[in-house]
Chains A and B, each alone.
Chain A
């Protein structure tokens, strides 16, 4: 028996490899397992190498997994490209009508013929799922009921499709049974009697729901991978009085529109990726300057320029904090997993309202696109924060004072000019040095209200610590756990609140001989920032477009310990 199982479906875009892995994961989650999905695909609609994988475990899951237990291949390229990741005991299931291979642990399935025999020519992937399920000892009943629910869409022909798919499932299972291949079977799921209800949710859904729970009113965006899913989720689900979702004509438009909307007192948000965030630079400066609350979710992909649109990277940290010219330092919150994506986004909305300015939710493809089972969030734990609205008592002196001040809303009293030029207290343009000094200090002073960032700290007496950020949390945690169990004395620090960093955390980090920062970029962007803050930070980096493997990261950390 083993604790967990990683199944990868590899082939071409459009062949259902991502769908196959998701079906497997959903059915496993129904049966009580923990699951985590991950996929990678080219930036094209049909064709090109793609794969989707599901990790299924009796224990909570930190990462997509280091090696594969089952590799399902649709074509020869998929086999060649993914074979190196197959574990020693792993098995291969492949479409023998596409290609032939010599491998002692490969199950050849004429899936096209089998699908046709099942009565649904498009059920090739399901044939393979049946074979995998049998090989790993997975309940076919769970898959059957899942298939029934999934294809029961109230359309004529549903029944025939369901019947064909179930038959395909069994044909695959029988073939696997006859082949005699065996693989370590995954432990049965552990019952957690007192736990809250569990849900299967994707990172982007969690982020959107977090924003909704915090009371977001307006969402305006422009399609870009891997951030489009947030825009479309909001388009479908953010409804009601005073709510608005729109598609702009560019990211320049989205950010400008959020400023115009936030000016009216509404809570606003957009989602984008690196290229879009680059275009938003000037607009974010305007939001900072004119003190308009808004949230930008940056779902990082490989950069620069068009970069790697469908791969993951953590290379926008510097830009997230300083997306435009001039003196500004934007608050940045970076969730480490699907569960955190919910709380982080709610906090981003609250922070934007509290300090009256733009906040960046810095996430990444591997977190946003992944589906994971998590405890159902208790939305009653989120207290919605809203800017205090001007009652007109200070008339038009909207920018009066040294910190956050009441916000006048059009239609009500206190007409002023929200100005992107340096301005006096009522928003009129000025070039006076003393006013620029005072207003610059005011804008930075407001950041001090964001002092409720929390952090994780374990083994705080160790002189060397690791501190991953964002989506590198899971692999960082996995590596830290393994090193610790090997008896290595190493501390663990983690926070979602990258800017401003929790003060207490920063103080602790400054006492360390070394703080190792695993991150997915070439420059060591966050480590560099920590060094600027007086922390002896060292980068451990990877820039493959893929997340860390725990085993690779562990080796890297070891190399930095002496």
Chain B
């Protein structure tokens, strides 16, 4: 936290799941930098607006670059950053409201481009920063300040949304599993294409799901979070769909497409094939001479 500004006046509530995600990201970025022999400044965190997005200011240790933009627009910002400089490692951090509500229109377009970025979604099933209103992943019938009669809209299944949108690498994780989460983020950053690590990151103030995720086997309460069985073939899209459609939270790699040519390689290859030369302004003017 050497360079952190002491006057920065945001903190998370005690027990917030985002602490674990922050830790995992710090470790993953540091590990990547040493593994790839590249400066940490080669990584850019594009953060959404919400409690979750404040992660970009709370990074401890070696500091990556950051963009803390406007609500819901992490993906298009990342599209610009990665397209302008494909050598950068671009990591999006976002909340369930930021990513799946106001920002949902951007998921399929960037997934279909196969933009080579990694997204970490901190899903707490609630709008934390605006004080507990319902989000797309809030459970049906849950009472919040904006769902007085209990939530009437069905709960969104984000994993189905990602699969339907065309994401090529999807991992479902928990904020409490810092080491596996770190590994998942590293794997996702190494994957040449659009990857999402969807993390259950409970909000202790407005939607504390720690107990439900963990369950209480002794008292016959099944854990909501269940490890994905070894028999699951993550390269099989239809197996991934079937698993994602199950109730509960699968933990592990849901889907990993074998073939993945990222957006910038598609463009480079297409231009090479078409034999496109660099712009020559004078030549363009020559073609207009009367």
Q: Which residues of A contact B (CB under 8 A)?
A: 29-30, 32, 197-201, 205, 209, 212-213, 217-218, 220, 237-241, 243-244, 246, 248-250, 252-254, 256-266, 268, 282-283, 285-286, 290, 373, 376-377, 379, 395-396, 408, 410-421, 424, 426-432
Contacts and interface: CB of A to CB of B under 8 A. Distances in A.
A379 B85 contact: no
Contact of B68 (A29, A241, A261, A429): A429
Contacts of A432: 7, 9
B9 A256 contact: no
B163 interface: no
Nearest to B263: A246
12 contacts: A198-B290, A205-B288, A239-B277, A246-B83, A260-B67, A261-B84, A262-B84, A411-B88, A412-B41, A418-B68, A427-B66, A429-B54
B129 to A, nearest CB: 11
B76 A256 contact: yes
Contact of A266 (B42, B76, B85, B290): B85
Contacts of A431: 9
Contacts of B70: 256, 282-283, 285-286, 420
Interface stretch (B196-204, B227-235, B279-287): B279-287
A199 B70 CA distance: 44
A220 B81 CA distance: 12
B68 A253 contact: no
5 closest A-B pairs (Cβ-Cβ)? A260-B80, A240-B278, A257-B80, A256-B76, A261-B84
Nearest to A217: B84
B290 A30 contact: yes
B184 to A, nearest CB: 24
B84 A239 contact: no
A260 B10 contact: no
A200 B284 CA distance: 12
A396 B79 contact: no
A104 B50 CA distance: 74
A284 to B, nearest CB: 10
B57 interface: yes
Interface in B166-185: none
B68 A410 contact: no
Given A239-B279, A411-B85, A424-B8, A418 B66 contact: yes
A218 B80 contact: yes
Given A257-B76, A417-B57, A432-B7, A263 B42 contact: no
B105 interface: yes
Contacts of A209: 281, 284-285
Nearest to B276: A239
Nearest to B283: A237
B64 interface: yes
A238 B63 CA distance: 34
Nearest to B90: A260
Contacts of B106: 249, 253
A495 B268 CA distance: 42
A424 B106 CA distance: 30
Interface string B106-135: 100100000000000000000000000000
Given A237-B279, A252-B73, A429-B8, A260 B84 contact: yes
Nearest to B79: A257
Given A256-B70, A376-B288, 15 more contacts: A220-B80, A239-B271, A252-B76, A257-B76, A259-B67, A260-B78, A260-B82, A263-B65, A283-B73, A376-B285, A376-B289, A396-B3, A418-B65, A418-B66, A428-B7
Given A268-B84, A428-B57, A419 B68 contact: yes
Contacts of A240: 277-279
**Which of A212, A257, A283, A420 has most chain B Cβ within 10 Å?**
A257
B66 A218 contact: no
B110 to A, nearest CB: 9
A256 to B, nearest CB: 4
B258 interface: no
Nearest to A382: B281
A379 B57 contact: no
B77 A395 contact: no
A417 B8 CA distance: 12
Interface in B207-257: none
Contacts of A260: 46, 67, 76-82, 84
B5 interface: yes
Contacts of A263: 44, 65, 67, 77, 80-81
B108 to A, nearest CB: 8
A463 to B, nearest CB: 43
A238 B83 contact: no
A253 B67 contact: no
A379 B282 contact: yes
B164 interface: no
A198 B289 contact: yes
Contact of A218 (B10, B76, B83): B83
A484 to B, nearest CB: 31
Contact of A417 (B9, B66, B277): B66
B15 interface: no
Contacts of B3: 395-396, 426
A205 B285 CA distance: 10
A201 B83 contact: no
Contacts of B282: 379
Contacts of A408: 65
Contacts of A252: 73, 76, 105
B40 interface: yes
Nearest to A35: B290
B66 A256 contact: no
Given A200-B288, A260-B67, A428 B8 contact: yes
A286 B79 contact: no
Contacts of A416: 65-66
Contacts of B278: 239-241, 243
Contacts of A283: 70, 73
Contacts of B84: 217-218, 244, 260-262, 264, 266, 268
Given A199-B289, A429-B54, A429-B57, A411 B41 contact: yes
A430 B79 contact: no
A429 B61 CA distance: 19
Among A205, A259, A262, A263: residue with most chain B CB under 10 A: A263
Contacts of A238: 279
Given A29-B290, A260-B76, A411-B85, A420 B69 contact: yes
Given A244-B84, A259-B69, A379 B281 contact: yes
Nearest to A285: B70
A430 B46 CA distance: 18
